[in-house]
Structure 1
Amino acid sequence: MTRLRLALVHDWLNQLGGAEDVLETLVEMFPHAPIYTSMYWREGMPPAYRAWDIRTTWMDHLPGIYRHHQPYLPLYPLAFARLDLSGYDLVLSNKSGFCHGVRTGETVHICYCLTPTRYVWDFDAYAAREALPLALKTALRPIIGLLRRWDYQAAQRVDHFVAISTEVQARIRRYYGRDSVVIHPPVDTSRFHPDATHDDYYLIVSRLVPYKRIDLAVRAFNQLGLPLVIAGDGRDRAALESLAGPTVTFLGRVPDEDLPD
């Protein structure tokens, strides 16, 4: 029997988060599928990824992109639009950015949508959380308009959308005018369970980036004077640490096996 020729597509591989958890599950399901992505930070990602067939675009060679990929925002559509995956039987994109814009021709393209691109469709809120200067916001608006049109047109070429939640399903309908089915992302439900005993602190596990709004939790625990432990890392860490009071502790990135059950 001929093996299905399947390609996986992922926005970028320079940080760990929920999108990468989904990708790891997809690789387990389709271990022979190549992974197309804009760029791959080999030293910054788990060693297990080195066994994968990861294929990057020309963006992988741009200076500083591994640690600061946001300034290259307008280039991602160009990079993915040049990827011709029409030689596969099935393309499965794992999208929160622009990777659904790959060319597939007659090949069936299923997009597992983590969210329509946040900084394109909710730019004002994104810019406020990132504290972008007014001049930069003004300069970016025409570019955001172009990206929004590209994003919409790319979404029309997708054959089937799968949303991670009913909220994302509503966004797909609102921004793309497309129907979708909901398949929740994989969660190890057997690991996390209520326990009669507990430690006297609250725990957040997250990437520390502005749109996660960890600052709201930090401000709340500052006011309440309750202990909060934050596991995770990201470009917002320094700002959060400067905001935090004496009851808030930062652990940095913690391996899954070391997290409490």
Structure 2
Amino acid sequence: MPLKYALVHEWLTPKATGGSELVVREILNHVDADLYALIDFESSNPESYLYKRQIGTTFLQHFPFARNGVQKYLPFLPLAIEQLDLREYDVILSSSHAVAKGVLTRPDQLHICYCHSPMRYAWDLTFDYLSHSNLGSGAVGWVTRYLLHRLRYWDVLSANRVDYFIANSQHIARRIWRCYRREATVIYPPVNIEAFPFFEQKEDFYLTVSRLESYKQVSLIVKAFNQLQRPLVIIGTGSEMKKIREIANSNIQILGWQPDDVVKKYMARAKAFVYAACEDFGIALVEAQACGTPVIAYGAGGALETVRDIRSCGDTATGIFFRMQTEAALVEAVEKFEMYENLFNPEYLRSHSAQFSPQIFAGRYLDFLNNCKEKRPSIQERSGFL
């Protein structure tokens, strides 16, 4: 008798197009699973691969303005995810960066969580969340702090509902251990390398592609390039758009949101891709390398696993790090990059990025899934192994 699979993700909307959504899509390419989420506005989107797919949702689906971001209902997310009834399934697969791992399961069900990050609002980004929202001061601020405190309790409790954790980087595996005291196997997320054009000849501009939010540190990049007076192109939109437009000098071009084909064109032709955030993995850094474009990145988080610094790697380098999130450190890194610029080999950058291909992800994920099933007698019995 074939096993029944459920795949649980946080939210499915046209605006949610990051690395976690790429993981969901790749899993569905290889596992016949029913899909569940807190909210779903993709099955009604004719441009989505999920168009007309049956997707289970929660009561948040009907909340006002949920389509534009269910995060505004943060205190309700744990309750909502626990309302998904998954009793009919043998194997639960979750793709989680907030609450998806918190679904309720029976002892005989197998639950494997691909964790993109422990809940950022409750852990690493708590103080950023408080200081850059209207919820961080006064009486409302204390209520928000208490809710985040309770959310951390739930987040740790719900980690105990997972049988096996997968992390999208060594960086996230360490955070999973720190927050949950659980071991995690690292399987890097899929990056569609073949979709990015390879160009050896670069033009005289730098590029960053990012959501314009405070923790992405795009304003730091702008201030550094104001000093450098080098041409910089910014692609992306977000709550800091107005601030960034106000502080940017004439050498900086802000394009806002752009379609994929425009992003790929700029990424392929840029002198270097600049990134100042501490990323969980950093898919954009790999996409730039797939184009043969070197990376100038903050040397922390997932970047340390995807970028090879020219000062230590020589002719197998793919970029250069700056070690502090300061304007001075980034200015120095750009100047150092220009000293080494001719030493980068675009063809090597492309080949380096291939280790993060969808094919490699699929092989490692399916091997891990099969190994986990073999360790569970109840699953083996239902699948006919015994």
Same fold (TM over 0.5): yes
- Separation in 1, partners of 2:229, 2:33: 49
Judge which range, 147-156 or 34-43, deviates more: 34-43
- Separation in 2, partners of 1:95, 1:121: 15
Q: Which residue of 2 aligns with 1:90?
A: 91
Identity of aligned residues (%): 37
1:234 aligns with 2:235: no
2:131 to 114, 128, 145: 128
Question: 1:252 Cα shift?
Answer: 3.2
1:246 aligns with 2:250: yes
- Separation in 1, partners of 2:241, 2:7: 31
Paired amino acid for 1:116: P
Paired amino acid for 1:100: K
- Separation in 1, partners of 2:227, 2:179: 38
Paired amino acid for 1:126: Y
SS in structure 2 of the partner of residue 85 of structure 1: coil
Q: Which residue of 1 aligns with 2:33?
A: 33
Q: Which residue of 1 aligns with 2:56?
A: 55
SS in structure 2 of the partner of residue 162 of structure 1: strand
Preserved contact between residue 45 and residue 51 of structure 2 (Cα < 8 Å):
no
Q: Which residue of 1 aligns with 2:281?
A: none
Judge which range, 56-65 or 245-254, deviates more: 245-254
| 1:220-242 residue CA offsets vs partner (Å, 9 max, x unmatched) | 22222222222233344334333
Unaligned residue ranges in structure 1 (runs of 5+): none
Q: Which residue of 2 aligns with 1:111?
A: 113
Q: Which residue of 2 aligns with 1:67?
A: 68
- Separation in 2, partners of 1:139, 1:47: 38
| 1:60-79 residue CA offsets vs partner (Å, 9 max, x unmatched) | 11111222433211110000
Equivalent residue runs for 1:162-173 within 5 Å: 162-173=166-177
SS in structure 2 of the partner of residue 12 of structure 1: strand
Preserved contact between residue 59 and residue 80 of structure 2 (Cα < 8 Å):
yes
Equivalent residue runs for 1:12-23 within 5 Å: 12-14=11-13, 15=15, 16-23=17-24
Paired amino acid for 1:138: W
Paired amino acid for 1:121: W
Preserved contact between residue 60 and residue 70 of structure 2 (Cα < 8 Å):
no
Preserved contact between residue 87 and residue 107 of structure 1 (Cα < 8 Å):
no
Q: Which residue of 1 aligns with 2:220?
A: 216
1:183 to 171, 184, 187: 187
Question: 1:201 Cα shift?
Answer: 1.3
Higher Rg of the two aligned structures: 2
Q: Name the structure where helix makes up a greater proportion of residues.
A: 2
Unaligned residue ranges in structure 2 (runs of 5+): 266-290, 292-386
Preserved contact between residue 136 and residue 144 of structure 2 (Cα < 8 Å):
no
Q: TM-score, normalised by structure 2?
A: 0.62
SS in structure 2 of the partner of residue 204 of structure 1: strand
Judge which range, 201-210 or 163-172, deviates more: 201-210
